A and B are shown apart, each in its own frame.
Chain A
Amino acid sequence: MNENNPVITTENLHKRYGRTAALQGISCQFPRGKITGLIGPNGSGKSTLLKLIMGLIKADRGSLNIMGHPPGRKNKANIAFLPEINNLYRSMSLQELIDLYHSQFSTFCPETARELLSFMNLQPEKTVKQLSKGMVGRFKLILTMARRVPLILLDEPLTGIDIKSRSNILEGLISKFNPEEQTIILSTHEIIETERYFDHVIFLEDGAVSLQGDADDLRAEYGQSIQELAKEVFV
């Protein structure tokens, strides 16, 4: 752990939707300056945990500490996550959306957005409507990474996206990740392509942590890839 100064700590965190227990007493830590893979099958609680961290929903029980504060307004400006580009924005051009984001967020860096646009081969004058699903996925990553903030949450950034766009997204992510000032949490059930980027992994299943640790240490300890470990852990 980054010398016992984790960026997020949870202790016995519970969240229930109606009769479904989405999180059943999660205790875990996310190390500072690292990329943590939050891994688990659909319905394991990954999105719930991220929404709690973002402050979009409230836990029923337990504690959650993010950069020294409970979730909420103090952290809003410091956390970036993949945007929903809903119907309202689909007729806008990429450049217009970049300008919009710039006006909304003081930490938004247009230079970073420009560099990533070029890296990802996207034309700023195109509208969202004109883009393929993979291109939209890439663009969402650009909007997120252009916000130079200490905590970045990526909830399933690769789902439903073509292979070429996926590697584009992951490479773009790495190119702009500054471990001295940033922490990234990436939730996914697609481990094969992502595991090489993870410093730390947390396995979630049915709202509980099955395994967590440094990715390379786990590989050494078990002599397996994270993907293979996951197959065993998630029965």
Chain B
Amino acid sequence: MQVNFYQSRPIYEQIIDEIKKMLVRKELQPGDQLPSQRELAQQINVNPNTIQRAYREMEITGLAESRRGLGTFIISEQDLIKDLKEEMAQLATQNFISEMKSLGFEAAEIEKWVKQNQGINEKKTPGGEGNE
């Protein structure tokens, strides 16, 4: 896990967000064991109490569960990834629309901008042709 923390948001929330992203990117699977609190604290250079808070919050919201003597595990829920993807897509879309509206764009124009930028993050094909 590599995180650069924005200090203006609770750090434990950012840790949870990063774990969610790892699940969506398939770097983590449902049912996987998370590193011990101490290990993760060392890995990402954070106060172990902050990791404890992140893990506890994930248990409360049902994203993870603690198994006594073994550690903390992501739940093995079938639809977990799908649900997370939806949750994160919703948030990203809302932020984007909010931003565009604040620039004065209306719905139809916003849609046009999305279409125009569909291919923007795709790799260029060999032969040097960019994507439109």
A interface residue numbers (CB < 8 A to B): 33-35, 171, 174-175, 177, 179, 192, 195-199, 215-217, 219-220, 223-228
Interface size counted on chain B using CB atoms at 8 A: 19
Chain A hits for B42, CB < 8 A: 174-175
Rounded to whole Å, the gap between the CB of B5 and the closest CB of chain A is 6
- Bound Cα distance A203, B52 (Å): 25
CB-based contact A174/B8 at 8 Å: no
Q: Known interface pairs A174-B41, A175-B42, A196-B5. Does A216 touch B48 (Cβ–Cβ under 8 Å)?
A: no
Say which residue of B7, B47, B52, B53 sits within 8 Å of A219 (CB atoms).
B7
B73 at the interface (CB under 8 A from A): no
New A-B contacts (20) at CB < 8 Å, excluding given A195-B7, A216-B13, A224-B8: A35-B49, A171-B45, A174-B42, A174-B45, A174-B46, A175-B42, A177-B47, A179-B48, A196-B11, A196-B46, A196-B47, A199-B47, A216-B50, A219-B8, A219-B10, A219-B11, A220-B10, A225-B6, A225-B8, A228-B8
Interface of A (DSSP majority class): helix
Residues on B facing A (Cβ under 8 Å): 5-13, 41-42, 45-50, 52-53
> How far is the CB of B51 from the nearest CB of chain A, in Å?
10
Q: How far is the CA of A216 from the CA of B6 in the complex (A)?
A: 12
